Chains A and B, each alone.
Chain A
Amino acid sequence: EAQVTQNPRYLITVTGKKLTVTCSQNMNHEYMSWYRQDPGLGLRQIYYSMNVEVTDKGDVPEGYKVSRKEKRNFPLILESPSPNQTSLYFCASSFFAVGAQTGELFFGEGSRLTVL
């Protein structure tokens, strides 16, 4: 089954304790992206990657890191989480070859993070 898998789905942590949210897709997509969803603000892009070893900042990258060492995986790293990073996080992926896709994204189920 084609899917984007995020882990963990729920996490409560404390300020300053490093954490990683994993994301994996099995559709051979080139493009992967992280979003955060907050009430009234919709989806805001954190980081995206157009292919292996190619990453770039989205709209709200401060306090986050990513890596893309393999095509299928795109982990989101919070080196020193703070309460303002409490949010619902989504990973998404898509084909990216010019002419082969339209920007349609496939989303994971979401990871709800609470930072105390």
Chain B
Amino acid sequence: AQSVTQLGSHVSVSEGALVLLRCNYSSSVPPYLFWYVQYPNQGLQLLLKYTSAATLVKGINGFEAEFKKSETSFHLTKPSAHMSDAAEYFCAVSAASGGSYIPTFGRGTSLIVHP
């Protein structure tokens, strides 16, 4: 079984400040981990993914995430927030189960960026 917990349904930052969105997962086998972003009135798009290569993963728009097995975490960061980063962010885990990789999503974190 696999699950994902995103801490904080809303995160508010000032423009230029560090962005930190937290994600913890549980999986009985080595997982693949993803962050998706959903801009207003759009579908989800992949921001970055961890697939057992480098533990520090760089994604689009300056975001990155670090896989920490000991902490079962995959937190998303960006050094300096832009207004355009305001969106809903979803963490997801995918782990092999019976030959399949059906992903499980967290409940999402809404990032609010203040001028």
Please give the residue numbers on chain A whose beta carbons come within 8 Å of chain B beta carbons, in ascending order.
Answer: 4, 31, 33, 35, 40-43, 48, 50, 90, 92, 94, 96, 98, 101-105, 107-110
A and B contact pairs by CB, cutoff 8 A, 8 listed: A40-B107, A43-B90, A50-B100, A96-B101, A102-B49, A102-B94, A103-B34, A104-B49
Partner of B44, one of A40, A48, A50, A107: A107
- How many chain B residues sit at the interface, stated as a range, is 20 to 34
Residues on the A chain within 8 Å of B45, using CB: 107
Query: Contact flags (1/0) for B91-109 with A, using CB distance below 8 Å?
Result: 0101010011111011110
B43 touches A90 (CB 8 A): yes
For A112, the closest partner residue in chain B by CB is B41
Q: How many contacting A-B pairs (Cβ < 8 A)?
A: 60
Interface residue? B14 (CB, 8 A): no
Residues on the B chain within 8 Å of A40, using CB: 9, 107
Contact status of A96 and B100, CB under 8 A, knowing A40-B9, A104-B49: yes
Residues on the B chain within 8 Å of A108, using CB: 43
A48 touches B102 (CB 8 A): yes
A99 CB, nearest partner CB in chain B, Å:
10
**How distant is the Cα of A47 from the Cα of B16 in the complex, in angstroms?**
41
Given A42-B105, A43-B108, A102-B49, 6 more A-B residue pairs with CB atoms under 8 Å apart are A42-B107, A43-B105, A50-B100, A94-B101, A107-B45, A110-B42
B88 CB, nearest partner CB in chain A, Å:
9
B37 CB, nearest partner CB in chain A, Å:
11
A42 touches B106 (CB 8 A): yes
Contact status of A103 and B32, CB under 8 A, knowing A40-B9, A42-B105, A98-B99: yes
Q: Which of A33, A43, A48 has the most CB of B within 10 A?
A: A43
